A and B are shown apart, each in its own frame.
Chain A
Amino acid sequence: MSLAVAKKAAITSTGSSAWRPAVVAIAILLVLAMLPSLVDPYQTVLLTYGLIMAIAALGFNLLLGYTGLLSFGHSAYFGAGAYTVAFIVRDLGAQSMELCIVGGLLGTLLISALFGFVCVRHTRIFFSILTLALSQVLWSLAFKFFWVTGGTDGIRVASAKLTLLGGLVNFAGPGSFQRFVFAYYYYVLGLFALATVIMWVVVHSPFGKALQAIRDKETRANFVGISVRRYRWIAFVISGSFTGLAGVLWVPLNGLTTPDILYWPFSGEIVFMSVLGGFRTFTGPIVGAVVFNYLKTYAVASTEYWQLLLGVVLVVLVLALPSGIVGTAARLAARFTRGTS
């Protein structure tokens, strides 16, 4: 799986024609669509988690990779999406997943617009600390207001009660979890594809180019007439909303939302994913999220000291391969093609 995506990434970053990435993307999508019938349900669940985190990392990287802002508080938007869904399901008794998505996105939009307005006034280390501090406000509220959020017990969101596609697919009755896993995978895959296309369009639009100009030289960007702060704010809101969507999709699969996803080490994990895949490339965060998810799952399953393992991976990565999986693969591929042709 990851190999295929890495290959795609190598082609997207070196290919000159705009058609090649589209063809490769469709090929990968077809492979992904066939997977659940080939592998066992557990792998499908893992891949679903990976795709959900890929949406989050994709959003995160609009800030880090394209705008040059390292947010250490993206747990806030993931959590905002997740908790909004939990409230909608618990307090409004809603069942439609689409309603949850719309509600969750609105909730995230509100939070990220507010936080972003505050945060984009600063850059560099102050931006990171500010995003961190604000995300911890949400965490402490979720942690302390246990009569609203359930505290550390969290809020349960039973997948069996949800319906997809406006009620066309529901999971009541026997074998509900298996049916949910199967259907939800395609649901997430569709949204993942949509999110990827939207992000692709965003970063290749004049707006996206303006963000990259801001990243590379703020003063010059300002000089050519880009209102830097507003562009950063819009990028922040888009970025937060993508991560919020991931939070929305994550809740039914996990079945539970707890303050852990608002705590700052979770933001660190999102950063980790982007760096693992390579934050200087478009596909890097996607690959990074999927790989990280497998890495973490198997590390947790195989050793009590999984954190140590992941920490070593991160440190080695930063010291030896700062361009991540995709960046390194692209470099190798470029060298290889130069060598043969």
Chain B
Amino acid sequence: MTIFIIQLLNSFFYAAVLFLIAAGLSLIYGVMRIVNLAHGTLYALGAYVSAWVVGGAVGHAASGTLGLAGLLLLLPVGAVAIAVVGAVIEPTLLRPLYRRPEEYHLLVTFGLLMILEDTMKFLFGGTPLTAGSIMDHMGSIPIGRLLYPTYNLFVIAIGLIAALGLWWFIYRTKFGVILRATSQDRRMAAALGINVSRVYVQAFAIGCFMAGLGGAVVVPAQAAVLGMGIEALILAFVVVVIGGLGSLEGAVAGALIVGLVRTAGIQFFPEIELAVLYLIATAVLLTRPTGLFGRA
């Protein structure tokens, strides 16, 4: 029973991180119809920046005065940094392409992926970075006869808050209305006086912020390593394909499904764990091309 609960918590932890990445990917697609192949790499970059900032603070003499709360406040720096990167990328690289076929979107974001991968290698070197001290500081809580890291519960909470916050943001604020209007009909939105270019920059920056946040929350639990983004992108793809590209509910459902299957897979069928995920995505695409929650 205890094992079962821990497995369930593990899958929720995993789902929370995946949700953050996939929601950003989905948001960007929903508003701008861009499938951002560099999204996973932005997540990795967020992880690196957060680990670098937190690690730097811990190594510094002032770390005693910072305490756990201070370190936790430093963690989102990665997310903010990625949002800034996104705000630079959208107008320079993506804006010239909106009128071209979507092949070009894939190509340019693939090029961006290559550039960002090496930028990370250049900035942070080949050695993995970690912010494990946060996880150590938070300790663990007893579940049954076993101990479970408190930090994982914290991440699950962040995932929940992010999902609710995003929902509130999209469906309950004025900016959300503008965002949805732009995604429905770009030209009509422009005709109604919405500054579409600015909305696009904002939407892309928010999507990048989500990716960076995913990287930031994951880095105390596991180190930031080169290549982590390429793997994460494909899993985020699986999530949005299952849930439906451009759908928030879909990202939640997809992340939960992938989280549960992956955790069960690692436990019971490690060899075909990844293959099963891809096959689920394929099966969903075949039966419901727009995903479980997608609209055509």
Answer yes or no: do A and B interact.
yes
A contacts, CB < 8 Å to B: 64, 70, 72, 118, 121-122, 124-126, 128-130, 132-134, 136-137, 140-141, 143-145, 263-265, 268, 271-272, 275, 304-308, 310-315, 318-319, 322
Among B106, B107, B122: residue with most chain A CB under 10 A:
B107
Tell me if A's interface is mostly helix, strand, loop or mixed.
helix
Secondary structure of the B contact surface, majority rule: helix
**CB-based contact B234/A136 at 8 Å:** yes
Q: Is the CB of A319 within 8 A of B118?
A: no
Q: Which residues of A contact B72 (CB under 8 A)?
A: none
Selected from B37, B97, B102, B110, the residue in CB contact (under 8 A) with A124 is: B102
With A70-B103, A311-B112 known as contacts, the answer to whether A133 contacts B237 (CB < 8 A) is: yes
Interface size on B, residues (CB 8 A): 43
Assess whether B107 is in contact with A314, with CB atoms less than 8 Å apart: yes
Does A275 contact B107, Cβ atoms closer than 8 Å?
yes
Total residue contacts A-B, CB cutoff 8 A: 117
Q: Are A312 and B237 in contact (CB under 8 A)?
A: no
Instruction: Provide the residues of chain B in CB contact with A310, threshold 8 Å.
Output: 111, 114
A140-B274, A144-B272 known; A121 vs B286 contact (CB < 8 Å): yes
**Do the beta carbons of A137 and B107 come within 8 Å of each other?**
no
Contact A122 B278 (CB under 8 A): no
Nearest Cβ on chain B to A147's Cβ, whole angstroms? 10
A122 engages B93 (CB within 8 Å): no
Query: Is there an interface contact between B286 and A118, defined as CB atoms closer than 8 Å?
Result: yes
Q: How far is the CA of A260 from the CA of B194 in the complex (A)?
A: 46
CB neighbours of B282 from chain A (8 A):
118, 130, 133-134, 137
CB pair A311–B278 under 8 Å, yes or no, is no
Q: Determine the chain B residues whose CB is within 8 A of the CB of A64 once the complex forms.
A: 103
- Report the separation of the CA atoms of residues A312 and B117 in the bound assembly, to the nearest whole angstrom: 12
B273 contacts which chain A residues (CB < 8 A)?
140, 144
19 more A-B residue pairs beyond the given contacts A140-B273, A307-B114, with a C-beta to C-beta distance below 8 A: A70-B103, A118-B282, A129-B35, A130-B282, A133-B237, A137-B275, A144-B270, A144-B273, A144-B275, A272-B107, A272-B110, A305-B121, A307-B115, A307-B117, A310-B114, A314-B107, A315-B93, A315-B112, A318-B111
| Residue interface mask B126-149, A partner, CB < 8 A = 1 | 000000000000000000000000
**Which residue of chain A is the closest to B35 with respect to CB atoms?**
A125
Q: Hey, which chain B residues are within 8 Å of A143, CB to CB? A: 274
- 29 intermolecular pairs with C-beta atoms under 8 Å apart: A126-B289, A129-B35, A132-B234, A133-B278, A136-B278, A137-B275, A137-B279, A140-B274, A140-B275, A141-B275, A144-B274, A271-B106, A272-B107, A272-B110, A304-B121, A305-B118, A307-B114, A307-B117, A307-B118, A308-B115, A308-B118, A311-B116, A312-B115, A314-B111, A315-B93, A315-B111, A318-B97, A318-B107, A319-B93
